[in-house]
Amino acid sequence: MSDTDTPAILVIGGAGYIGSHTTLALAAAGYRTVVYDNFSTGHRDVCFGDALVEGDLHDRKKLAQTMRDHDIQAVVHFAALIEAGESVVDPLPFFENNVAGTLKLLGAMQDAGVGRLVFSSTAACYGNQSTGDLLDENLPRDPVNPYGHSKAMVEVVLETLAAAHGLNAIALRYFNASGADPEGRTGERHDPETHLIPLVIDAARGKRANIKIFGTDYDTDDGTCIRDYIHVNDLASGHVAAIDYLLKHNEVGFQAMNLGTGRGNSVREVIDAVRKMAGKDFPVVEEARREGDPAILVADAGRANEILGWQARYSNIDGIVRDAWNFAVKTDQ
């Protein structure tokens, strides 16, 4: 198949954690990829696209020209500020980037005549609707922090553009992205790092003094919070499945879909998995609960299973920890 016969996908934020894994997965699926990133948080050494354009999400003209230059057929949008705690302290940048920036992207798509979008959304859209049942997309959006609100606001915009202008968009709501490329090509490198698994790995490797457990009195088997940890390669395959679907169907409109496993692991289970991988113990400090932390957040991924034919394949906690551990060791060499 020639380049002109191969659909080209624009990956906004393709130098980031999930974006770099998805670029690899799109290439493996036979797509041409163009990475567009401003490198505010991304890394140049994980730009795996067939082409790289350095540019800002707010640059509507450059975005549209990039789409025209590369004959883009669909866009995958990862470029967002993601730290929920930081969003509470300093919310304005989250709305400027995540909402206003996305409006520029959507305008550029209209300018270039590109009508297919996969949007990186989040389980934070559900807020604290933890009932012990699996969370499904029929629940209302009820975010509790500015980060979640910014993603939910974009989903509303996508819904309205789908109705008014025929945009075909799929919002993929992630649960706890984790792990790393099993071949070690890319992995989690946030600065600062706030995600549990890399923090526990740092404690096990002596790179931090301890790991803290925030709350040991939840109504769970071991008293700690339960979350749905999904391997980043499963997230990447979900984006490929969404792109496949958009390219095959002309009247998708807007749909939100969970990407998760349907099962959860507690904080203690994550710590035990890292202990097993490390072959040694490390200090664990028990602290009081953090305000707003639900006991259980686990996805019902039935919609993505049914519509996209997608399911998580790599998301067992031992495999997730193994791949994250190996990447952490490699990056220190």
Residue 306 has pLDDT above 70, yes or no: yes
Residue with tokens 């509470």: 88
Residue of 285 and 194 predicted with greater confidence: 285
Rounded to an integer, what distance in angstroms lies between the CA atom of residue 187 and that of residue 207? Answer: 18
Q: What percent of the chain has pLDDT over 70?
A: 98
Q: How confident is the model at residue 243 (pLDDT cuts 50, 70, 90)?
A: very high
**pLDDT surpassing 90 at residue 2:** no
Half-sphere exposure of 132 (CA within 13 A, CB side): 4
Q: What is the pLDDT of residues 133-171, one digit of tens each?
A: 899 999 999 999 999 999 999 999 999 999 999 999 999
- Band (pLDDT 50/70/90 cuts) for residue 215 is very high
The mean pLDDT of the chain is: 95
- pLDDT per residue over 55-65, tens digit each? 999 999 999 99
Mean pLDDT across 173-194: 93
Give the Cα separation of 21 and 47 in Å (integer).
10
Q: pTM, whole model, 2 decimals?
A: 0.95
Catalytic residue list: 147
Q: What average pLDDT score do residues 216-234 get?
A: 96
Out of 68-72, 95-99, 242-246, 290-294, least confident range: 290-294
Fold classified for 3-179+230-260: Rossmann fold (3.40.50)
Break the chain into its structural domains and give their ranges.
3-179+230-260
The closest alpha carbon to 9, from 26, 24, 21, belongs to 26
Q: Is the pLDDT of residue 131 over 70?
A: no
Q: Locate 37 and state its tokens.
A: 């990133």
CA distance 57 to 59: 6
Report yes or no: 128 and 86 within 8 Å, Cβ to Cβ. Answer: no
List the single range of 5-9, 72-76, 129-133, 240-244 with lowest mean pLDDT.
Answer: 129-133
**With contact defined as beta carbons under 8 Å apart, do 64 and 117 qualify?**
no
Confidence of residue 221 (pLDDT cuts 50, 70, 90): very high
3-state secondary structure of 195: coil
Distance CA 298, CA 263 (A): 6
Of the two residues 132 and 84, the one the predictor is more confident about is: 84
Residues linked to residue 214 through DSSP beta bridges, in sequence order: 287
Q: What is the pLDDT of residue 203?
A: 97
